[in-house]
Structure 1
Amino acid sequence: MPIQVWLARMERPLTEQEYGDMMAILPDARRERLEKLPKEKHQEVLCAYLLLRMALWEQRGWRDLPRIEVDELGKPFFPDYPDTHFSLSHTAGAAAAVLADTPVGVDIERVRPVSVRAMERIAGVRTEAAFFRSWVRREARVKRTGSGIVTMMRTEAPLNRGEFYYEVDAFHGYAAGVAAGQPEPPQPVHRLMLDQLL
């Protein structure tokens, strides 16, 4: 199965009805974790799970989200479907989901101001666009392996044999990318606005 990426741009807040409907599709454990966060952080998380549900319906014909567990490194997975791999990401105003037959990682970030000192120290670059391209590449790779954010912050190792990275054309003002174990780039990339997602 080719890797497919699903992106959503939230150009408006959720209504109370939409919020309630989206909370209802979340797995219980994820809903409990989300309820511990401030409500203003919920929208992007909810949209990421709605994207995952949409992707599973389109690619697998699954009506509901299967049970999700988290491994010892914090990587979520479907215990009842070990051959279906997924990854989610969210940032201010946008969310992403990806499905694949092998371990996969996705990240999306809104490009925002970062000090030149931090950009040079972390990524060896001097522009926000270059910094966030580096950041999403690192985070997508970490999400694919489940190796943890500390690994990402130290340095970025070259791609390993059998590891592939693809920049994804997201929305204006965002950087996105997918790390995968497949040599074919993600195709297609689904770009949705909130009203299309709902």
Structure 2
Amino acid sequence: MILLGIDDLARREQARELLAWGAERYWGLSPLPQLAAGERGKPWFPACPQYHFNLSHSGSFALCALSDQPVGVDIQEMRAAWRPSLVERTCSPEERAWLSSLGDRGEDFAQLWALKESGGKQTGYGLPYPPSRQAVPLPPLGEPYDPGTIYTLGETKFRVYLGKNWRGAACGLEVPPQEIQWVSGLGREN
């Protein structure tokens, strides 16, 4: 698995440009093959089904994961606070207890949400309704997620990523990379 990122997203199309950049560099695919949406909306290459990818963007950030197996990725620009009703609706009782044990910090909810999104994207089914049904691995109460740890749920392996104003997650059947390869200047208009 390869994980690419940009931190200067000005247009949503830049996420697709990041995919094209990575697909050419790592798979030799140029131009980018035609995209199609799966039954539940997950994008794929009908002409090259052996290549798996996933995209996410939030605020000025975008992530792209490339793999030879199904993969999911998500990035969340952090907010100062999340509505309690959102946490109640999207988190299981165990997840709410974990958040509470850390003081209900926004960065922990953003991390948990990125994990849920990446897990739903990896399977191709997306988030269930309600999202509290999307299980993700949790650290022990009182402990935040550690980017150096591989978290597992069944056969799926998760890794978290932390930045100053964002949280991210990637998952798949293989171990996600420890680092994001940040790409600068992609798709900037002069």
The interval holding the TM-score normalised by the smaller chain is: 0.7 to 0.9
Tell me which residue corresponds to 1:9.
7
**TM-score normalized with structure 1 length:** 0.74
**Distance change (3 Å), C-alpha of 1:46 and 1:87:** same
**Distance change (3 Å), C-alpha of 1:120 and 1:151:** closer
Shift of 1:100: 0.2
Q: Deviations over 1:13-46 (max 9, x none)?
A: 5xxxxxxxxxxxxxxxxxxxxxxxxxxxxx1x21
The letter of the residue matching 1:134 is: L
Match of 2:176 among 174, 185, 188: 185
Shift of 1:196: 5.2
Q: Deviations over 1:95-118 (max 9, x none)?
A: 111100000011011011312443
Tell me which residue corresponds to 2:121.
143
The letter of the residue matching 1:118 is: L
Tell me which residue corresponds to 1:34.
none
Tell me which residue corresponds to 1:118.
86
Instruction: Judge which range, 47-56 or 149-158, deviates more.
Output: 149-158
Equivalence map 1:11-26=2 (5 Å): 13=10
Q: 2:128–2:134: 8 Å Cα contact kept in structure 1?
A: no
Q: Deviations over 1:151-185 (max 9, x none)?
A: 5613332554211111124x321011101011x33
Q: Deviations over 1:101-141 (max 9, x none)?
A: 00001101101131244335533121110101100000000
Q: Secondary structure at the match of 1:6?
A: strand
**Distance change (3 Å), C-alpha of 1:173 and 1:115:** same
Tell me which residue corresponds to 2:166.
174
**Distance change (3 Å), C-alpha of 1:4 and 1:187:** farther
Tell me which residue corresponds to 1:79.
46
Instruction: Judge which range, 110-119 or 82-91, deviates more.
Output: 110-119
Shift of 1:59: 0.4
Shift of 1:187: 5.2
**Distance change (3 Å), C-alpha of 1:165 and 1:151:** farther
The letter of the residue matching 2:57 is: H
Q: Secondary structure at the match of 2:183?
A: strand
Q: CA RMSD in A?
A: 2.0
Large movers: runs of 4+ above 4 Å = none
Give the helix-richer structure, 1 or 2. Answer: 1
- The count of aligned residue pairs is 162
**Distance change (3 Å), C-alpha of 1:107 and 1:185:** same
